[in-house]
Structure 1
Amino acid sequence: MGLNEAPLLFNFEVESSENFTFIPMSVRFNLDRFGLRITLAQWQMLPLEDRKLLARFPVDDDTEIEPNFDHALFEMLRTHANVEPEWFTPEEAPLWRRTDSVPEGVTHQAGLAGLTAPSVARWAELDPFKRYVLAKLSRKPEANHDFVPAMKEFGGGA
């Protein structure tokens, strides 16, 4: 599986990423998948074309499918920022992978926004990357400004 033709951005991200000023969800997914952490300042040190390239990597949960994201990120950061990303151990069983229950954070965010949380059946139907996005946007107790647009884009939140 190769790179996507265009950067992977959801509609709700187009405005909020401000032309890749902020880290898109596809890059966040791959950072979490590979156990890498970068700061927003490090991200912003990368040339725009490099940021767009990182957002073209596939968002598949299998690290064997596209193992070059981490190598590309390391080279870009060394070249343009003279830093390396931090390593961490990725979660073995993150809540977004589960299809038998909706993560508490997602239910909480939906409540804060006055939306109906997805049912377990609807949650299970969502693409794994969309489940990741909703869980990622729900990790803090305060309302996330991208949660409502994401829910609407993914067909939820009636």
Structure 2
Amino acid sequence: MGLHETPLLFDFERVSSEDLTYMPMSVRFNLDRFGLRISLAQWQLLPHPDRALLARFPVDEDAQIEPNFDHALFEMMRTHANLEPEWFSPEPEPAWRNAAAVPEGVLTHSRMAGANVPSVERWGKLDPFKRYILTKLTRKPEASHDFLPAMREFGLME
């Protein structure tokens, strides 16, 4: 699969990420997939066209499909920031990959927001990237302003 024609953005993240000042979820997914970490300040050191290119990479789970994300990121960081991304070991079996169980964070944040908890059936029907996003949005104990809009956009709220 090749690059998307435009940066991959969901409606819920357009306000915060459309100008690419903040990292879109597609970039966060690929960073996590490759075990790379950059700060928001480092992201913002990259020229807008480079950020837009990184946001066009596919979000498929198979790391072999588009192995150029990590190479592009390293080259961009070296060229524009004289830095390299930090490496970490990705979690081998993250909660979002399990279609048979709604992660505890998603359950907790649903309750905190007064929203219906997604059923296992509805959770399992979500695209893995959408499961990743909801799990990522619930990693901190405080509520994310994007959680409910993402739940709505993904069809988990009436």
Place the TM-score, normalised by the shorter chain, in its bin.
over 0.9
Residue 39 (structure 1) aligned with residue 39 (structure 2):
yes
> Which 5+ residue runs of structure 2 have no aligned equivalent?
none
Deviations 1:18-72 (A, max 9, x none): 5111110000000000000000000000001110100000000111000000000
Q: TM-score, normalised by structure 1?
A: 0.98
Aligned partner of 2:82 in structure 1 is 82
1:157: how far off? Answer: 2.5
Q: Distance in 1 between matches of 2:18 and 2:114?
A: 26
Structure 2 residue aligned with 1:141: 141
Percent of aligned positions that are identical = 70
Aligned partner of 2:119 in structure 1 is 119
Q: For residues 2 and 131 of structure 1, what CA distance do their matches in structure 2 show?
A: 22
Number of residue equivalences: 158
Q: Please give the root-mean-square deviation of Cα atoms over the aligned residues, in Å.
A: 0.7
TM-score by length of 2: 0.98
Which residue matches 2:67?
67
SS at match of 1:74: helix
The CA deviation string for residues 88-110 of structure 1, in whole angstroms up to 9 with x for no partner, is 00111000000111000001111
Runs of 4+ with >6 A deviation: none
Give the Cα separation in 2 of the matches to 1:157 and 1:4.
28
One-letter code of the match for 1:99?
A: A
